[in-house]
């Protein structure tokens, strides 16, 4: 399993970013996909989940209404559109499929929200 996150960067509060995660090594279209994030000195936390078909998404309360998870099964890629970013959103963001088969994490992509 390979997970390659990208799209992070430095953004001002209130700004937007779109993260991507290219997945390989498993049958992408049969697994739900998740985004997580980890801020310095804090535990990794769940951000959002999308079902295998993309028909349903769930979000942590802290991002609901501002973040949107989506996927393109033809490209084996999951996305996270982040709007109205806040400084507390600064973290390394990771994607991971649902399921115990995937033991590893990708390298993540750094998001820094600062003026």
Per-residue pLDDT tens digits for 41-94: 999 999 999 999 999 999 999 999 999 999 999 999 999 999 999 999 999 999
Supply the pLDDT for residue 101. Answer: 87
Q: Percent of the chain, pLDDT > 70?
A: 100
Mean pLDDT over the full length of the chain: 97
| Structure confidence by residue, pLDDT tens digits, 32-42 | 999 999 999 99
Supply the pLDDT for residue 96. Answer: 97
Cβ neighbours of 39 (radius 10 Å): 14
Rounded CA-CA distance 68/79 in Å is 8
Torsion from C-alpha of 38, 85, 21, 108, nearest 10 degrees: -30
Cβ neighbours of 26 (radius 10 Å): 16
């Amino acid at each position: 399993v390979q997970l390659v996150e990208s799209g992070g960067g430095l953004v001002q509060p209130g700004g937007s970013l779109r993260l991507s995660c290219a997945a390989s090594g498993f049958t992408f279209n049969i697994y739900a996909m998740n985004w997580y994030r980890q801020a310095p000195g804090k535990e990794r936390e769940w951000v959002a989940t999308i079902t295998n078909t993309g028909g349903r998404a769930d979000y942590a309360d802290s991002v609901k209404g501002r973040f949107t998870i989506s996927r393109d099964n033809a490209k084996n890629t999951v996305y996270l559109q982040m709007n109205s970013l806040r400084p507390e959103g600064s973290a390394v963001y990771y994607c991971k499929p649902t399921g115990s088969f995937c033991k590893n994490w990708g390298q993540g992509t750094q998001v820094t929200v600062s003026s």
